[in-house]
């Protein structure tokens, strides 16, 4: 598919262009893995942005709207995040309306076909310098994005246990802890970690005969190799899927690591629609009966099914960690939503979602 044909599927809003030609990035990547596996990677846009090398984003909510801020090539960028649109296993569309930075408007589109991924970014530069910087960055972005996709393909193809289970698949090979410590010390994009405390806790847990020591070792390998986003919110079910292990075994290990001071536990109040964390409590008795989601404009009962989720966070004495975001609203954070779109009055849109049997 040529760019002209692609833009017929996803036309520009001429009002956004303001009679100025946009800077466009468009390329296609042939794929060696299935649509579900590619979707797992592409829809986790926070992780994609981190691996590509983009700077973290600060998000804030005002009257139900999401606003972001980060830096690009030394320039501060500020924008309003337009509600995302996506169709499961097929398309993701994101838009940003900028109030400050190199552009006035930008959009990103990821479109999947069997064996092929289409990647498109379009920007309306705010000034001549912005145009030059975006043109200069085009081949760099393509190279980095391609590398991330190819690395993910290699991990999926080499890891039959974890195929399609998650972005951060761990290699199934003997664990060299000295190498993991060394790699973390050299990696400037992750927070430092107290090596001595981690070693002491790992040795203590190694003495607990009722724990599966192979899974214990892999859990600590995850702690040492995980990025800040994953360490800020460790989700047992997701981790069990990534490691290809039984959930009960993972829970037992995480709870013991909580007692030993490696991680802390919290009770997260989850919006039933957007799955965003609306409140967080250190103890169950601190959870309020009612909660509010300003983004979805709803009040809900925290005691509803799936209204509370237990998550774990690296202890601040082990690794001082603030919440790190590289993106917001991406489909990977809302797996229960298979389709999200904006429909105007009178518009008919037909779709055929590849949904499995069940609720």
The CATH number of residue 18's host domain is 3.30.530.20
In a domain, 165, yes or no: no
Token pair of 79 as six digits: 């924008």
In a domain, 132, yes or no: yes
* DSSP states along 207-241: T-TTS-HHHHHHHHHHHHH--HHHHHSB-HHHHHH
Written as tens digits, the pLDDT of the chain (359 aa) is 889 999 999 999 888 887 778 999 999 999 999 998 999 889 988 888 888 888 888 888 888 788 999 998 889 999 999 989 999 999 999 999 999 999 999 999 999 999 999 999 999 999 999 999 999 999 999 999 999 999 999 888 876 544 444 444 444 455 666 666 566 666 655 667 777 888 888 888 888 878 888 888 888 888 887 777 778 888 888 888 877 788 898 999 999 999 999 999 988 888 887 777 788 888 888 888 888 887 777 888 887 777 888 889 888 888 876 665 545 667 887 777 889 998 889 988 888 888 877 76
Do 100 and 217 lie in one domain? The reply is no
Name residue 92's beta-bridge partners.
Answer: 86, 110
Token pair of 137 as six digits: 């960055």
Give the range of the structural domain holding residue 150, as residue numbers without chain letter.
3-158
Strands (E), the chain: 23-30, 58-62, 65-72, 75-87, 91-100, 103-113, 116-125, 263-270, 277-281, 290-293, 298-301, 308-314, 339-340
Do 109 and 200 lie in one domain? The reply is no
pTM as predicted: 0.74
pLDDT of res. 184:
64
Do 196 and 310 lie in one domain? The reply is yes
What's the CA gap between 97 and 46, in Å, rounded?
A: 19
Residue 306 burial by Cβ neighbours in a 10 Å radius (0-12, 13-18, 19+): exposed
What's the CA gap between 277 and 302, in Å, rounded?
A: 11
- Whether 186 contacts 224, CB under 8 Å: no
What's the CA gap between 346 and 179, in Å, rounded?
A: 60
Nearest CA to 225 out of 263, 265, 169, 266 is that of 169
In a domain, 346, yes or no: no
Long-range contact pairs involving 177-181 (C-beta distance under 8 Å, separation at least 24):
177/220, 177/221, 177/224, 180/221, 180/224, 180/225, 181/224
- As for how many domains the chain has, the answer is 2
Do 122 and 192 lie in one domain? The reply is no
Do 150 and 224 lie in one domain? The reply is no
Do 152 and 218 lie in one domain? The reply is no
- Whether 108 contacts 121, CB under 8 Å: yes
In a domain, 171, yes or no: no
- Whether 354 contacts 112, CB under 8 Å: no
Do 8 and 153 lie in one domain? The reply is yes
Do 57 and 132 lie in one domain? The reply is yes
Token pair of 92 as six digits: 């993701």
Do 18 and 95 lie in one domain? The reply is yes
In a domain, 17, yes or no: yes
In a domain, 318, yes or no: yes
Do 212 and 150 lie in one domain? The reply is no
In a domain, 352, yes or no: no
* DSSP states along 87-121: ETTTEEEEEEEEEESSEEEEEEEEEEETTEEEEEE
Name residue 313's beta-bridge partners.
Answer: 264
C-alpha dihedral sign at 222, 223, 225, 230? positive
Do 11 and 119 lie in one domain? The reply is yes
Do 119 and 195 lie in one domain? The reply is no
In a domain, 335, yes or no: no
């Amino acid at each position: 598919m040529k760019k002209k044909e692609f833009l017929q599927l996803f036309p520009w809003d001429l009002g956004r262009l303001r009679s100025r030609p946009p800077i466009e990035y468009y390329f296609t990547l042939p794929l060696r893995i299935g649509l579900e596996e590619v979707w797992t990677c592409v829809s986790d846009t926070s992780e994609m942005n981190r691996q590509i090398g983009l700077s973290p984003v600060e998000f804030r909510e005002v009257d139900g709207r999401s606003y972001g801020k980060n830096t690009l090539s030394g320039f501060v960028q500020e924008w309003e995040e337009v509600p995302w649109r996506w169709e499961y296993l097929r398309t993701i569309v994101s838009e940003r309306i900028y109030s400050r930075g190199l552009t006035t408007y930008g959009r990103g589109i990821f479109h999947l076909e069997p064996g092929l991924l289409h990647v498109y970014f379009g920007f309306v530069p705010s000034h001549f310098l912005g145009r030059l910087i975006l043109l200069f960055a085009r081949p760099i972005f393509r190279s980095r994005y391609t590398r991330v996709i190819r690395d993910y393909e290699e991990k999926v193809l080499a890891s039959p246990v974890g195929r399609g289970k998650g972005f951060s698949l761990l290699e199934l090979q003997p664990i060299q802890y000295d190498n993991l410590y060394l790699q973390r010390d050299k990696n400037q994009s992750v927070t430092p970690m107290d090596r001595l405390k981690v070693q002491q806790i790992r040795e203590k847990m190694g003495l607990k005969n009722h724990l599966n020591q192979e899974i214990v070792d892999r859990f600590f390998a995850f702690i040492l190799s995980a990025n800040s986003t994953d360490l800020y919110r460790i989700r047992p079910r997701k981790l069990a899927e990534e490691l290809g292990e039984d959930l009960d075994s993972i829970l037992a290990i995480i709870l013991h690591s909580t007692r030993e001071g490696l991680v802390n536990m919290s009770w997260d109040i989850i919006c039933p629609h957007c799955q965003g964390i609306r409140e967080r409590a250190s103890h169950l008795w601190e959870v309020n009966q009612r909660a509010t989601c300003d983004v979805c404009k709803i009040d809900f009962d925290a005691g509803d099914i799936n209204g509370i989720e237990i998550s774990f966070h690296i202890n601040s004495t082990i690794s001082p960690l603030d919440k790190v975001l590289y993106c917001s609203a991406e489909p990977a954070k809302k797996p229960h939503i298979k389709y999200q779109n904006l429909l105007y009055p009178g518009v008919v849109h037909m779709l055929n979602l590849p949904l499995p049997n069940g609720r």
